[in-house]
Structures are given as C-alpha cells and as structure tokens.
Amino acid sequence: ALTSAAVAALASAGTTTPHLREIVLGRCYQLYSQAAERQAAEAAAAGDSSGDADGEAVPAFDYDALDCAELWETLSAAFVDVDNLDTVTADYEPYYAAADYTTPRDRALFWSGTDWLSADFSGRGRRFFRMEDTPGGALMNGLLWCGNATEDGGLQVAAGTDCPFGEVDAETALWRGAMGSFWAGSSATFARHVRGDVTALMYGSRNRPAFRWESFFGTYELPSLTISQITSFHILLVRKIGESLAENCTHGSVPALVDALVERGVDPDTISCDDDSEVVRSLLCVDNANSRECEFASNVLVDNNAPPAGGCDPAGGAGSGCGWVVFAAVLGWVIAI
C-alpha cells in the first residue's frame, strides 16, 4: 500500500543496497524462525494445529521445508542480470508461491496514505500484520534493488546511479521494474491470504481522496481479497494531530470503498467505519503530549479506588464523567502493547 510520496522517495533513493544477498539471507533466517515460533504458539493455544478459534482450517506454512538460500535464488532470478524495467510481477510468482504472506486470523491491516502511522499502529506484528510485517514482505522492506544486464553481478551497483522504483505500463496499467512489480505482487498475495476481521487504516486529511482506485490498495489489494475468508471489514479514517479531516465515513471517498466491498461480495452489515478513533488518537498523543488535543484531564488527580468528582456511571455514556477514565485506560493499553 505504498503512497506516491513513498514511491517518489524510492525513485531517487540510490543504487542497490550493498550486500543485498547477505542481508536478505540474514533476515530470512530470523523472520522465518520467529514466524515458526508464532505459528506453533498459536496452534498450541488453539489446542488443534489444524483449526482456529472458529474451527476453520488454518493455512499452516511449512517452515521446516523452507531453505533461505533457495528462497534467495528464487527471488533474485526475477531481477539479477535483467534490466530494471524488464522485470514484471509475473517474474516473482515463484517467490510468492514459496514465501510466507499469511497472517493470524483477525489481525490483517491494510493501509493507504498512512505510511507515517501504519507501522506504529500495527506494532510490526504485535497488534496487526501489514503486508510488510509478514516474512514475505518484511524480507525486502526498506531495501533497494534493481538489475542490470551489463554489470558484473547482474545488479545496478555503480556509484551515482539510482534504482528507479519502476513505472506503470501504459498498456497494462500494471507496474514494471524490480521494486514496483515486487511490491505490487506482494500486495496482491498478502490480500489473498487475509481472513477473519480485516482493518484498513486510511488518511483522511490530505488533498486527495482517502480511497483511490489507483493506489496499491485499490489496484492490487482490494481486487485480490478472498471474500469467503472475510468476516468483517473495519475502516479507520485517520488524521494527524492538529489536522482536520477532509472527509468522513459518510462524505468523500469512503462510501465508494464501501460500495466496492459490497460489490465484491462483502456483507454490508459487516462493514464499519470510524472517522475519529480514540485508540488512534491515543497512540498519536504519545508523541504529541503537549498538543492541545492531547491535554486530557491534565489537572485531575486520579483516585484509582473511587470515581471522579461528580460521579461516574460507566454505563451512562456521554456526560457521565467517565470519558477521560476510558481514555486513560485506552492510552495505557496502547503504551503497554
């Protein structure tokens, strides 16, 4: 779910990351070891390695069969000794088939325009899993690479040269280029694997719609969802501290996203939207404590054994005096995890 800003940054970021093969191999051993431990723990917690909490089949990944050296060869075959723009997503299909893009049930996170927040919100796999948090995506996250058919080693490594992210093919409207086509295919592969409750984190305070068909989310992830595996879809429309939302859940581009989900087959009763999430705001306030928006109950001394002055009825809703207590609990939860 890369943004145009991220693409622009990558377009002039530099040449192939030095020691690319060694970095990928090291990451592979670490990422897949951690993923194997997580899968084993989840199977033990469920009490049955073949099912999840709802009794549905869990697509277990065979980590014992994975060979990191072979995975690198499968991956690099798509771009080594190949001029950058000659690499297309289909060249990575053997890698997508071999790599792990699975997520735990109910913890998949899509994002669009929220590169500034998505990693913190997901906790990089502690709370949610973005495509970049799966082993298949994390393996190359933050790296630069592109091939060159005329250089020794088959990679673009000459000083002063860049690895362009790629370009959209005028005829197919799909990405070409070692990096662009990789992330396009990774996005689609990730989307095919998500199951259960799904969350989308979208930026609603910019001069472009929060949902855009031409984004990675609109072009690759949304069309690739396996609808039969999805039980609900929750949209979080977010803003930065100090900004105002340019759209909300009922005005702007979100209704178009809802319509697209329904057209794909998602039950409309399972689609929800929040355009001012307290949890998101709490997370942002950790780094913006002095902002006026984040000055919650700053002069109140909390008695943990008694309700605040004026009484607090937890079931009383708005005006019950409990709002800041709920916020404190949420903020504590955000920091804790």
Q: Domain boundaries in the chain? A: 4-277, 296-337
Confidence of residue 298 (pLDDT cuts 50, 70, 90): very low
pLDDT for 13 equals: 61
Mean pLDDT of the chain: 85
pLDDT for 19 equals: 96
pLDDT for 161 equals: 84
Q: For the whole model, what pTM was predicted?
A: 0.83
> Distance between CA 306 and CA 309 in Å, rounded?
9
Among the ranges given (92-101, 160-169, 253-262), the one the predictor scored with the smallest mean pLDDT: 160-169
Pick 121 or 160 by higher pLDDT: 121
Residue 199 DSSP class: E
pLDDT per residue as tens digits for the range 136-173: 999 999 999 999 999 989 999 887 788 999 999 999 88
Do 99 and 71 meet the contact criterion of CB atoms below 8 Å apart?
Answer: yes
pLDDT per residue as tens digits for the range 3-62: 444 554 455 568 999 999 999 999 999 999 999 999 898 888 877 544 554 545 456 789
- Coil, helix or strand at residue 67: coil
> Distance between CA 148 and CA 127 in Å, rounded?
39
Do 225 and 192 meet the contact criterion of CB atoms below 8 Å apart?
Answer: yes
> In this structure, which CATH number among 2.100.10.30, 3.30.1490.20, 1.10.540.10, 3.40.50.720 belongs to the domain 4-277?
3.40.50.720
Alpha-carbon distance values, 227 to 3, 113, 195, 230, 284 (Å): 25, 24, 9, 5, 32
Contacts with 317 (C-beta within 8 Å, 6 or more apart), sequence order: none
Does position 336 have pLDDT exceeding 80, yes or no? Answer: no
Alpha-carbon distance values, 250 to 151, 211, 256 (Å): 53, 13, 10
Confidence of residue 320 (pLDDT cuts 50, 70, 90): very low
Does position 302 have pLDDT exceeding 70, yes or no? Answer: no
Does position 313 have pLDDT exceeding 70, yes or no? Answer: no
Do 164 and 146 meet the contact criterion of CB atoms below 8 Å apart?
Answer: yes
pLDDT for 148 equals: 94
Q: Helix H segments across the chain?
A: 4-11, 20-46, 68-76, 93-98, 118-122, 135-138, 178-193, 216, 254-264, 278-286, 323-336
pLDDT per residue as tens digits for the range 52-88: 545 454 567 899 999 999 999 999 999 999 999 999 9
